[in-house]
Structure 1
Amino acid sequence: MTAGLSGVEEKAAPPTAPRITRFVVLGDSLSEGVGDRVGDAWRGWAALLAEGLAGEHGQVAFSNLSSSGAQSRDVAETQLPAALALRPQLASVVVGVNDTLRRTFDIGLLARRLDRVCAELTATGTVLLTACLPDPGRMLGLPAPLARPLARRQRAVNAVTHELSARYGAVHLHLDAPAWTDDRTLWSADRLHPGERGHRTIAAAFHALLRERGLAHGAAPSREPRQPPPTRADAVVWLATAGTAWVVRRCGDLLPQLLALAATEVRYSATGTRDRLDARADHALAQALAATMRA
């Protein structure tokens, strides 16, 4: 109680309730945090970013719904309903690489699924975080006939991501840019997931973009890792052991088709008509984007 100018005691103003930012993460192993292990669990860029969203008088309610191996179908059918129930102010949607590693890859289906995810989240006022990603064939250093079909697929996924990010006003990172893909200190031994430095760099980059929009109020995540980056020997060991098992798990149903796609690449390259394959992919992408515009 305090005394005013009239001598009458006045009640002190109640303390301001802390601002709560609800941040929900949808996606696959990249968002799960694979490559950035702390103790017995993955941490990752999303958890690091969450620490810097709230200022001194704020709080963050952080929910990570992502899961290793998730495809666009998993995000649309399972993760999206759970995310909507949490009514987030921020939601990251980063997915697509696992779709490219499946025999059933369909850029039209992926585009419609991601369009629905983005539309339903933004309809509730959620701000989206998105990212385009490097193609796995290039990161793994696969031979050109194997890498090119995967590269076409990832380019299509990234084109869809770019289009939807612009349409829904997302905070977007270009993780397929050479500054990311050529810096091996950012990547773990598996060459497909960021290491600690990479996760920290992603978190800091998103934080900077969110601060520009007035959506990040705390300190930016440190970019400096506590663990040394993997060596080339680490990468060789991973590829010779766990890497083989990973490839079989992730694209076991794709391998027969991928070999057929590689044979097609060789045949078209030999006749100088490989641009026809690019044209087919571009046509499928154009149809996929047009379908989302009509939805």
Structure 2
Amino acid sequence: MAPVRRFAALGDSLTAGVGDPVEGGWRGWAALLAGGLAREADETGTADGTDQGAVDFRNFAVSGARTRDVAESQLPEALAYRPDVVSVVVGVNDTLRRTFDIAEIAVALDRVCGQLAAEGAVLLTACLPDPGAMLGLPPPLARPLARRQRAVNAVVHALSARYGAVHLHMADAAWVEDRALWSADRLHPGERGHRTIAARFHALLAERGLAGGAPPDREPRRPPPTRADALLWLATAGTGWVVRRCHDLLPQLLRLAAAEVRHAARGTSARLDERAEHALSAALAAVSVSMDVAGPVARMGE
């Protein structure tokens, strides 16, 4: 295959690098991966002394971005950049909004993936763990979020199969439960987690001949966050995050939790899953994708 010259990253705070601090800001898995895509330098070099193996990297991801933000704001920038490889990892913020609509998410994500694939870019995608599990919420609160994230992941699986994406499965229980991979906020990977994501994507790209450099080192340079770090985050940045969610998601989430409790008491919880499946089927039908598409290509830790 032709060498990778340009790598673009689209998405939210996960791809923006939150949880992997470096001097001056965030780094993250995409930046770590970019360093491993370059071909080994030719000993003879070039006439002007430039490194023809170098890969240019642009990170268009923005913290808090939803799928529609990627489609409306980040996609035009990425298309103008004309990347050879482009990551599209988004969806968790959609599940944390009262306006959650799986059909809108499917249409927006199909637009992003379709237009980038039409330009010849190799897509990188990932399905993600649900935030309820990450935060350790009580079951009545966690189940609605889990149901939403499963729907988003199903759409990602379907579109990944349609466009031949390099897909990484990050919703495994082992990945969620390994606290050494996560930052103090319990929602974003820490340095070890970002390095693990980069290394797994690198391995998948190497199989396609698209990663000519050395894989990113999985060992972090900084110690993992402590319980004190988690408490400090909650007392500072975490307070603002909770307040924002109280205005947006929390009232609806409480109603959803109440419905979970009522259906559990009546023995009719399956109806909630059936409604979610119906909404998912309609969403996939809107982008003409079958529910029986191929599953994930790789799982974290394999």
Under a length normalisation based on structure 1, what TM-score does the superposition of the two structures give? Answer: 0.91
Q: Which has the larger radius of gyration?
A: 1
- Could you say which residue in structure 1 is the equivalent of 2:164? 169
Q: Deviations over 1:167-187 (max 9, x none)?
A: 111111111112311111000
Which residue of structure 2 lines up, in the alignment, with residue 25 of structure 1?
9
Give the distance between the partners of 1:211 and 1:19, measured in 2 at CA.
Answer: 12
d(CA) in 1 for partners of 2:10 and 2:151? 20
Structure 1 residue 254: deviation in Å?
1.3
Any residues of structure 2 matched to 1:61-100 within 5 Å, and which?
61-100=56-95
1:175-186 alignment runs, 5 A limit: 175-186=170-181
Tell me the residue number matched to 1:233.
Answer: 228
TM-score, with normalisation over the residues of structure 2?
0.89
Q: Tell me which amino acid in the other structure corresponds to 2:12.
A: D
2:123–2:165 contact (8 Å) kept in structure 1 = yes
Question: Gaps spanning 5+ residues in structure 2: where?
Answer: 42-52, 290-302
Residue aligning to 2:40: 56
Q: Which has the higher contact order (CA 8 A, sep 6+)?
A: 2
Same amino acid, percent of matched pairs: 73
1:260 and 2:267 equivalent?
no
Distance in structure 1 (CA, Å) of the matches to 2:246 and 2:281: 26
- Superposed, 1:197-208 pairs within 5 Å as 197-208=192-203
Q: Which moved more, 1:112-121 or 1:48-57?
A: 48-57
Name the SS of the counterpart of 1:293 in structure 2.
coil
Q: For 2:143 and 2:239, how far apart are their aligned partners in 1?
A: 20
Match of 2:48 in 1: none
Question: Hey, what's the Cα distance between the residues in 2 that align with 1:241 and 1:75?
Answer: 28
Q: Name the structure 1 match of 2:207.
A: 212
Question: CA offset at residue 115 of structure 1?
Answer: 0.5
Distance 2:253 2:170 in 1: 25
Shift, 1:29, TM fit: 0.1
- Per-residue deviation, residues 237-262 of structure 1 (Å, max 9, x unmatched): 43344323213335631111111111
Report the alpha carbon displacement of residue 166 of structure 1 after superposing the two structures with TM: 0.9
Measure how far apart 1:232 and its partner are.
3.0
Runs of 4+ in 1 over 6 A off after TM superposition: none
| Structure 1: tracts of 5 or more residues without a match | 1-17
Q: Distance in 1 between matches of 2:264 and 2:4?
A: 56
1:34 is the counterpart of 2:18: yes
